[in-house]
Amino acid sequence: MILLPLEGKEGQHHKANLEGKLQVYAKGGKTIVFTQTKRDADEVSMALTNSIASEALHGDISQHQRERTLNGFRQGKFTVLVATDVASRGLDIPNVDLVIHYELPNDPETFVHRSGRTGRAGKEGTAILMFSSSQRRTVRSLERDVGCKFEFVGPPSTEQVLESSAEQVVATLNGVHAESVEFFTPTAQKLIKEQGTNALAAALAHLSGFSQPPSSRSPINHEQSPANNLNWTLLFQGWITLQLTRDPSYSGGYLSVRSVTGFLSDVYTAAADEVGKYI
For the chain (279 residues), the mean pLDDT of every run of 10, in chain order, is: 47 58 80 92 87 89 92 92 84 86 86 82 77 78 74 60 80 87 93 91 84 58 38 36 40 36 36 42
CB 100 within 8 A of CB 52: no
> Domain-by-domain residue ranges, the chain?
2-156+220-276, 162-207
Note the maximum CA span of the chain: 62
Residue 60 has a pLDDT of 92
Residue 149 has a pLDDT of 62
Reported as type and span, the H/E element at residue 164 is helix 158-173
Residue 267 has a pLDDT of 35
Nearest in space to 21 (alpha carbons), one of 171, 129, 180, 144: 129
Task: Tell me the C-alpha distance between 135 and 14, whole Å.
Answer: 14
| Overall size of the chain counted in residues | 279
CATH fold of 2-156+220-276: Rossmann fold (3.40.50)
CB 214 within 8 A of CB 161: yes
Residue 81 has a pLDDT of 95
